[in-house]
Structure 1
Amino acid sequence: MASLSCDILVIGAGSGGLSVASGASQMGADVILLEAGEMGGDCLNAGCVPSKSLIAAAAAAQAQRTSAPFGVTASEPVVDYAAVQAHVADVIATIAPVDSQERFEGLGVRVIRDWGRFVSKSQVEVGGDTITARRIVVATGSTPVVPPIEGLKDVPYLTSDTLWGLRTLPDHLLILGGGPIGMEMAQAHARLGAKVTVVDAGPALNREDPEAAALVLQAVKADGVTIRDNTGVKKITGTEGRIEMEIGDNGETLTGSHILVATGRRAAVERLNLDAAGIETENDAIKVDDRLRTTNRRVYAIGDVAGQGAFTHLAGYHAGVVIRSIVFGLPAKVRTDHIPRATYTDPELAQIGLTEAEARDRYGDKVDIARFDLSHNDRAIAQRRTTGFIKAMVHKGRPVGATIVCAEAGEHANFWALALANKLKMSQISATVSPYPTAGEIGKRVAGAYFSPRLFESRTVKTVVGLVQRWLP
């Protein structure tokens, strides 16, 4: 049994943990990184990367079906699902070296591939060894939630962690959960040729702006997905290839070949022995303050395990905050008002800051809504991708939120995330000059929609312009 010591111990080699480990080590700190699973964590191996790779394959299939309006003969695609999954695996393998143990050891990080558990406020036991660290960062991510539905644990269910081992396209995929993961995988599998039914006890995409969510759900249904939201599940039974789901109150039964459980994720804290370190939890995640410190001031928590959202980009942002605190000793604090989220259906749906309902609840009649529809964007018309809109919630001349639903909404979100992060004014956004014709022009057009009533419907402006025109030589 060895005793090790370091400046910073990072537990978990997902997005956030890797960012802390690489940044701190390259700036001179002595860093140890623990990871029992795959380097790269959930995002690389089971989340963002594989899901978006599958969605890209589904989009390629859909492009064949919908090419007629461009003068290209449409055809029904022939889908080899095993080859699709091989494409997914290839994308993961291409990115994996960036997150590899070898790369991080080359950066000066000591990497230990094993589980760690707290044995005191500053010590973690791993594989019989004890590590004493001046500061510890917990970045263990999250795991899929499996709801306590009768019979579910007795059937061969899939989750977003295990879906990628499937090599045969499901005949009928039942999806439990109508959130972002459920909707993304529902539309993708329908486009790849599967029959898909989504069941959710509440409204589908219930966190999102209702008008934007309605456009997404309409498109998903148009691709052949059946959505049974506001429908409870009583019992699930069956074996591989035949799963039966009893829903509602009248004994109705859905029968599918596979079931995907997509009912959310829970912070991965079970193995950490947090009590030994004096670390408290709250709402099934580690309790942190606005500096991401736990109730043990030596220990920080970042990413999914901190309970502020299960987003890779949020974990990366958290890592930057923590590095400023533990490497440079600066009093860095977390902001949440500028963090984007996106659902990668077609159309995509992105949200930055407050939704319209949240903005009206906070600011009442002192909030303005500026909106521009894709149907008025020339590039969108040329590409026949005119479904959707962008609307900005504006308070005292500054955007406090933006809702985006359209093709590549996640890309448009960058513009508005920049605006909110830097507290830009609508006048500054209006001053932007975008190349024509681009979808990116829409940001400027939203700002134009904000100023148009103030310029074109103002009697004062018209009076001033009349006087100026009269006196100009």
Structure 2
Amino acid sequence: MMTNLTCDVAIIGAGTAGLAAERSARRNGAKTLLIDEGFGGTTCASVGCMPSKLLIAAGNAMHAVDQAKVFGVDASAKVDGIAVMARVRKERDAFVAGVEKSIDKLPNEVKIEARAKFAGATILALSDGRQVHAKSVVIATGSSPAIPDMFDVVRGRVLTNESIFELKDLPGSIGVIGAGALGLELAQAMARLGVETMVFDMGETIGGLKDPHVAEAYHAILSREMPILLGVELKAEPEGGGVALSGRVRSRAASASTICSSRRAGHRGSRTSGSRRPGSRSMSTGCPTMILTRCNVAARRSSSRAMRITIARYCTRRRRRA
């Protein structure tokens, strides 16, 4: 016989939003159930803003040395890529452990480790065979990177925000495809750490900015540190141990901006019928990033006067590296 559980508020997903929703509802007297398939911590702590800020801090440290001469300070430094990434993971793991401790403090009767799908407006069918009848349901399943089909041929060389922090060493070069905040900040951090970096975007603006004057100024500032190409249609092919990218810039905005890969709706503790398969959505400015490693960049003009971009394998020295 199927067991029924009842509550005032059922929350699907134990990420940052789900944990906050559960605590708020329980604090206000509601009976809650928090459903997650793994209770593995939050995106922010494990693969999001926290580890990315650690990488940014390392990049800023090197950038400060590079700019020291402006202030009359003669300084030099070398980047130890292995040490940089080891520190990122060490501190990231401490953040995740802190989140896990907070989850462990939740009442056991609140936590349900299972997947959920809707069997009615406020009825959830769990993967363990039980049903949850709630007055209200909060969907806080987050999202996950969706790699576009055009990159299937080089999928083994693709990094997303969920895998980049696992690199043992900084790559020799990267092509960053994704012009949201995460794509831009990771690209800038890598560039400042001596990684040959180039950013691409199918969109016509940078960072999802709406004001054209602000976007133009931001574009110009970031372009001092790395090439950023907008309005690019890309094709990827394996080349040696790396990736070759070729593409056509559709507009005149060919000097700087960002490229985004789309993200599909998350499934933290949930199953959504009719969801898109990875890569089925088009890329658009403002989405999280996709990164192709070990790319060296060269650009030339084609006979049609459209910019052509070719990225060949990076195989020699890295700038300012130990």
Does the alignment reach a TM-score above 0.5?
A: yes
Matched, 1:247 2:270: no
Give the paired residue count.
269
Q: Aligned residue for 2:15?
A: 14
Matched, 1:236 2:236: yes
Letter in 2 for 1:118: F
Cα drift, residue 91 of structure 1: 3.0
Matched, 1:212 2:211: no
Matched, 1:116 2:108: no
Query: With CA pairs under 8 Å and 6+ residues apart, which has the higher RCO, 1 or 2?
Result: 2
Q: Aligned residue for 1:80?
A: 80
Cα drift, residue 270 of structure 1: 10
Letter in 1 for 2:46: N
Going from structure 1 to structure 2, the CA distance change for 1:268 and 1:124 (only over 3 Å counts) comes to same
Q: Aligned residue for 1:31?
A: 32
Say which of 258, 266, 270 aligns to 1:268.
266
Contact 1:105 1:111 survives alignment (8 Å): no
Going from structure 1 to structure 2, the CA distance change for 1:34 and 1:58 (only over 3 Å counts) comes to same
Going from structure 1 to structure 2, the CA distance change for 1:167 and 1:261 (only over 3 Å counts) comes to farther
Write the deviation string for residues 96-139 of structure 1: whole angstroms up to 9, x where unpaired.
34432x43453436223332222333123133333332321110
Contact 1:68 1:74 survives alignment (8 Å): yes
Q: Aligned residue for 2:5?
A: 4
Q: Aligned residue for 2:105?
A: 106
Q: Aligned residue for 2:134?
A: 133
The structure having more radius of gyration, on CA atoms, is: 1
Cα drift, residue 173 of structure 1: 0.2
Contact 2:12 2:268 survives alignment (8 Å): no
In 1, Cα distance between the equivalents of 2:12 and 2:81? 36
Going from structure 1 to structure 2, the CA distance change for 1:212 and 1:51 (only over 3 Å counts) comes to same
Q: Aligned residue for 2:319?
A: none
SS of 2:132's partner is: strand
In 2, Cα distance between the equivalents of 1:82 and 1:35? 34
Q: Aligned residue for 1:65?
A: 66
Going from structure 1 to structure 2, the CA distance change for 1:105 and 1:167 (only over 3 Å counts) comes to closer
Give unpaired runs (5+ residues) of structure 1: 251-259, 285-308, 312-473
SS of 2:150's partner is: coil
Cα drift, residue 185 of structure 1: 1.4
Going from structure 1 to structure 2, the CA distance change for 1:206 and 1:187 (only over 3 Å counts) comes to closer
Going from structure 1 to structure 2, the CA distance change for 1:261 and 1:2 (only over 3 Å counts) comes to farther
Write the deviation string for residues 190-235 of structure 1: whole angstroms up to 9, x where unpaired.
1011001112222241631233233333332222x122222211x2
Q: Aligned residue for 1:297?
A: none
Contact 1:149 1:236 survives alignment (8 Å): yes
TM-score by length of 1: 0.51
Q: 1:199-348 alignment to 2 at 5 Å?
A: 199-205=200-206, 207-208=208-209, 209-223=211-225, 225-233=226-234, 235-238=235-238, 241-248=241-248, 262-268=260-266, 272-274=270-272
Contact 1:26 1:107 survives alignment (8 Å): no
In 1, Cα distance between the equivalents of 2:287 and 2:23? 21
Letter in 1 for 2:86: A
Letter in 2 for 1:210: P
Q: Aligned residue for 1:354?
A: none
Contact 2:179 2:208 survives alignment (8 Å): no
Contact 1:119 1:273 survives alignment (8 Å): no
Letter in 2 for 1:216: Y
Q: Aligned residue for 2:168?
A: 167
SS of 1:149's partner is: helix
Cα drift, residue 158 of structure 1: 0.8
RMSD: 3.3
Letter in 1 for 2:107: G
TM-score by length of 2: 0.72
Going from structure 1 to structure 2, the CA distance change for 1:6 and 1:249 (only over 3 Å counts) comes to closer
SS of 2:232's partner is: coil
Cα drift, residue 269 of structure 1: 5.7
Cα drift, residue 62 of structure 1: 0.8
Write the deviation string for residues 39-98 of structure 1: whole angstroms up to 9, x where unpaired.
4422221111111121111101111111122232121x3222232223222333333344
In 1, Cα distance between the equivalents of 2:113 and 2:31? 17
In 1, Cα distance between the equivalents of 2:198 and 2:272? 40
SS of 2:11's partner is: strand
Contact 2:14 2:42 survives alignment (8 Å): yes
SS of 1:94's partner is: helix
Going from structure 1 to structure 2, the CA distance change for 1:38 and 1:229 (only over 3 Å counts) comes to farther
SS of 2:149's partner is: coil
In 1, Cα distance between the equivalents of 2:120 and 2:263? 28
- State the identity as a percent: 30
Contact 1:123 1:132 survives alignment (8 Å): yes
Write the deviation string for residues 268-293 of structure 1: whole angstroms up to 9, x where unpaired.
26984556xxxx99x99xxxxxxxxx
Letter in 2 for 1:266: R
Q: 1:412-427 alignment to 2 at 5 Å?
A: none
